[in-house]
Amino acid sequence: MKKKIRENQKRGNALSRDRVIETSIELLNGGGETELTFRALSQRLDTGPGAIYWHIDNKSDLLNAACDLVIARTLNAVPKAMAPDMAIRAVALAMFDMMDEYPWIGSALAQAGGKLPMVRILDVLGQQIQVLDVPEQTEWAAASALLNFILGVGGQNAANAQTAQRENLERDTFLGEISNEWSKLDPVEFPFAYRMAPRLPAHDDRADFLAGIDFIIQGLAKLKSNPDDF
Amino acid sequence: MKKKIRENQKRGNALSRDRVIETSIELLNGGGETELTFRALSQRLDTGPGAIYWHIDNKSDLLNAACDLVIARTLNAVPKAMAPDMAIRAVALAMFDMMDEYPWIGSALAQAGGKLPMVRILDVLGQQIQVLDVPEQTEWAAASALLNFILGVGGQNAANAQTAQRENLERDTFLGEISNEWSKLDPVEFPFAYRMAPRLPAHDDRADFLAGIDFIIQGLAKLKSNPDDF
DNA sequence: ACCTGAACACCGTTCAAGT
DNA sequence: ACCTGAACACCGTTCAAGT
């Protein structure tokens, strides 16, 4: 039996942190978090699982780095030369669209507290908040309110995508199922959900997201004009 | 060797869905998600792993049920006979305190899209939104903005708790570490985070959370008085 | 310095067999 | 109807051994 030749290093196919991360992103984009295993990854990189550990600390480091790369690229592509409130909307929408297209990002972000990917988003938001000229002691609360709302939406989106994948459903039929479940709830115990059930399938996630961002921005504006309310 | 007698069923120790869930909550409260395994659970219930599957579909069903029980109890204990905006604050704070004490709740919520525990929170918020008398087509956006913000904070809290546990740190020293990392960031690339770093250790999570809720409520109020802005 | 791949210590889940 | 516990098909991670 011929020995398998795999001298990647000498043939210019050398493993590198960047290649590991790029390939991880391919796997994640393709099939979500479930697809990213050290075995699948090493197979695609034509190497052994152990080799990856030379370039990466552990799985959470890997997920974090993959997430960070995608977020940095996305944030860089957002034009920000506009009024601060518009820039905040633009950044938020870019995050929404990214997490909508690649749900794994939302759950990766949820796992990385205070880490670089999160800090990137926070910082861009915070810069605009500064331009908005809110009182200094509320800058942090404002930026992290926006961030936490974005992370919350991204997390829910990721959870929905994963359930839909597990149950092998299209996104639309998945929403239909939830609507159906909600309409079977006790209208006395769950009046709101029961009432919202029929609206669920037709509603526009993206518009709702933007409305949420607007609530926060408007709340900030009100604080500026009426600081005694706070 | 004496045969181990374990006729739980006949001795009044019969397994039941409720007992499985209560015991799961004990494990989760004790050591977070890492502690909840079918092996640990079956050991504590003095049975085999397979027995649990007679009462429960799978792990996500289990986590969901545990989460739902805690949330239902917490929500029931919140007094809501007050002005709607105050009731919203009370509910939100109750959620915050619960997720602060038991971080696993935040991550369990993040995994359960559209499921009962989430619907409970949404519904209580939505009921108060209705009393607030916002335009009908923004009720949903308002309730889900509040919900997503709460879920975002809970998710971050859970992530922080887990990192702190993994690195065996107290909550305070953990914040100190993050502050330290942020102060080493490039102040040109991350001006906001760099500037916030020194404030991080002393800041009040709970107050920031409440401020975020207030931004949204104030944004809603502004919408009411000035609907053309939207 | 970097890679290999078998081995380790876990998981959730299944299922034939028991009572 | 309910429980038992070995077995299955996976994981992430380690590490002696290679180049």
pLDDT tens-digit profile of B163-197?
888 887 887 888 999 999 999 999 999 999 999 99
DSSP track, A95-160: HHHHHHH-HHHHHHHHH-TTSHHHHHHHHHHHHHHHHHT--HHHHHHHHHHHHHHHHHHHHHHHHH
pLDDT tens-digit profile of A97-113?
999 999 999 999 999 88
**What percent of chain B lies above the pLDDT cut of 90?**
80
CB contact under 8 Å between A148 and B138, yes or no, is no
| B120 vs A contacts (CB less than 8 Å) | 190
Q: Which of A68, A104, A124, A156 to mutate to test the interface with B (most CBs of B within 10 A)?
A: A156
Say if A169 is an interface residue toward chain B (CB within 8 Å): no
Report the gap between the CA of B97 and the closest CA in chain A (Å).
Answer: 16
Burial class of residue B73, CB neighbours in 10 A (0-12, 13-18, 19+): exposed
Place of tokens 């004496």: B2
Residue closest to sugar C1' of D3 by CA: B51
Residue A13: per-residue pLDDT? 67
| B180 vs A contacts (CB less than 8 Å) | none
> B54: which residues sit within 8 A by CB, 6+ positions away?
B15
Taking a contact as any Cβ pair under 8 Å apart, which residues of chain A between 211 and 230 contact chain B? 211-212, 214-223, 229-230
- Check whether B11 has a pLDDT greater than 60: no
Residue A14: per-residue pLDDT? 81
Residue B13: per-residue pLDDT? 67
B130 φ/ψ angles, rounded to the nearest 5 degrees:
-60, -45
Rg (CA), chain A: 22
CB contact at 8 A, A54 and A20 = no
Buried b (16+ CB within 10 A) or exposed e, A148-178: bbbbbbbbbbbbbbbbbeeeeeeeeebbebb
Q: Say what the pTM is.
A: 0.94
